């Protein structure tokens, strides 16, 4: 039944769109390229210009768009189901901001150059700290307003700590890099960045996908969920799995690309109706929906202004209206 749900839902169409947009992202760029020749060179290990452009410049950008977008989409879907709050998203709740702050602290002090995996590790710790603060401030069953308010306060706290850090570290360029960390960017990233983010994203997504059945049970209410065996608390309970899964995947993603807002808010919202309002059925489509959104946003940044437009600017321009529409809907249902 689960398999049929995935095949009959929006997933096949989203996968098709991701493949097409991904192919277009590999084929088009600043210079025109004979893609067939470049792939052949890459396959044969020849260091031709085409092979370098495809393998070292376009491929890391594509992989990051897919996996970071997917991470943000899935984490948004999980957070919305877990908090039963359509405004929940790793960006709105300050979890992305915490992760970015952690990554900034180890990158600019030179720690990440000496300690392997320090970047995703610090991203994980920052995101965990943010989630713990959020739960302590608002609680799991807070109303939508309280949760988002606590998240907004945490977001701006982390953003100002991040800016302060960039002002205090020794590199004279650091202070100008606040935009990368607050608005996100896929420009000139490397395969090394992909390798840094991959383990945390894979492990985190595995934890989030595994929490699907528990999320379904939670829609029936806490008591029913507990009686069905979907245990919420305890060190190995649903809460631990979700918090760790979000912190691992989002922390690793923002450590490489900076915070990219509104993806986790928008994607589950747009796909929820197509998945019959069953949280577990929303997870896989949200991965591909997030990937598709970042691929399109990245293409738009290149279309608008070359390397200087941050990708988070584009996602915010599209996502903020969706967020505002959600706010209006909440207000109407509250009346």
Partner 1 sequence: MPGLFQPVIRTTRSLVAALCGLLVVSGADARPHRVVSLNLCTDELVLMLADRSDIAGLSPLAADCTLSVLCLSAQGLPVVPANGERLLGARPDLVVSGTFGADRARAVAGTAGIATLAVAPATTLDDVPRQITTVAHALGQDARGASLIAAFRSRLRALAMPVTNEAPRAVMLDANAYSAGPGTLADSVMQISGFRDAGSGARLSLERLVAEPPDLLIRDASPAAPSLAEAIADHPALRARFGRDRMAIVPGNLLLCALPQSLDAVALLEQARKALPRGHS
Where do contacts with partner 1 occur on this chain (CB under 8 A)?
29-31, 33, 47, 49, 52-53, 56-58, 107-108, 110, 112-113, 169-174, 176-177, 180, 188, 190-192, 306-308
| Closest CB 310 distance from partner 1, rounded Å | 12
| Closest CB 306 distance from partner 1, rounded Å | 7
Give whichever of 33 and 64 is closer to partner 1, judged by the CB atom: 33
| Closest CB 313 distance from partner 1, rounded Å | 17
Give whichever of 53 and 247 is closer to partner 1, judged by the CB atom: 53
Q: What does each C-alpha distance from 218 to 4, 149, 222, 267 come to in angstroms?
A: 22, 23, 6, 21
Dist CA 127 CA 130 (whole Å)? 5
Return phi, psi of residue 139, to 5°. Answer: 80, 160
Helix (H), strand (E), coil (C) string for 159-196: HHHHHHHHHHCCCCCHHHHHHHHHHCCCCCCCHHHHHH
| Closest CB 202 distance from partner 1, rounded Å | 22
Of 334, 298, 245, 264, nearest to 91 by C-alpha is 264
User: Are 209 and 241 in contact, with CB atoms under 8 Å apart?
Assistant: no
Give whichever of 112 and 133 is closer to partner 1, judged by the CB atom: 112
Give whichever of 132 and 195 is closer to partner 1, judged by the CB atom: 195
User: Are 193 and 60 in contact, with CB atoms under 8 Å apart?
Assistant: yes
Give whichever of 257 and 280 is closer to partner 1, judged by the CB atom: 257
| Closest CB 40 distance from partner 1, rounded Å | 17
| Closest CB 299 distance from partner 1, rounded Å | 15
- What's 57's DSSP letter? I
Q: Which helix (H) or strand (E) holds 323?
A: helix 311-334
Give whichever of 174 and 228 is closer to partner 1, judged by the CB atom: 174
């Amino acid at each position: 039944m689960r398999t049929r749900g995935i095949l009959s839902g929006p997933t096949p169409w989203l996968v098709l769109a991701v493949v097409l947009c991904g192919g277009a992202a590999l084929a088009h760029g600043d210079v025109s390229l004979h893609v067939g020749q470049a792939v052949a060179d890459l396959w044969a290990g020849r260091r031709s210009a085409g092979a370098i452009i495809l393998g070292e410049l376009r491929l890391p950008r594509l992989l990051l768009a897919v996996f970071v977008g997917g991470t943000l989409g899935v984490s948004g879907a999980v957070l919305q189901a877990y908090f039963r709050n359509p405004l929940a998203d790793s960006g709105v709740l300050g979890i992305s901001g915490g992760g970015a702050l952690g990554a900034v602290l180890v990158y600019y002090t030179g720690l990440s150059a000496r300690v392997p995996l320090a970047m995703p590790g610090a991203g994980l710790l920052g995101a965990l700290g943010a989630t713990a603060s959020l739960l302590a401030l608002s609680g799991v069953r807070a109303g939508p307003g309280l949760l988002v308010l606590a998240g907004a306060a945490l977001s701006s706290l982390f953003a100002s700590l991040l800016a302060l850090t960039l002002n205090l570290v020794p590199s004279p360029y650091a202070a100008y890099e606040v935009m990368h960390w607050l608005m996100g960017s896929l420009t000139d990233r490397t395969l090394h960045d992909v390798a840094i983010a991959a383990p945390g994203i894979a492990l985190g997504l595995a934890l989030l996908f595994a929490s699907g059945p528990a999320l379904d049970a939670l829609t029936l209410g806490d008591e029913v969920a507990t009686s069905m065996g979907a245990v919420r608390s305890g060190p190995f309970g649903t809460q631990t799995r979700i918090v760790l899964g979000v912190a691992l995947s989002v922390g690793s993603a923002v450590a490489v690309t900076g915070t990219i807002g509104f993806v986790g808010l928008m994607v589950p919202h747009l796909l929820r109706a197509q998945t019959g309002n069953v949280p577990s059925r929303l997870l896989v489509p949200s991965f591909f929906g997030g990937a598709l959104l970042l691929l399109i946003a990245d293409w738009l940044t290149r279309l608008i202004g070359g390397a200087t437009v941050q990708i988070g600017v584009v996602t915010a321009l599209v996502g903020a209206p969706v967020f505002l529409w959600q706010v209006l809907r909440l207000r109407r249902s509250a009346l």
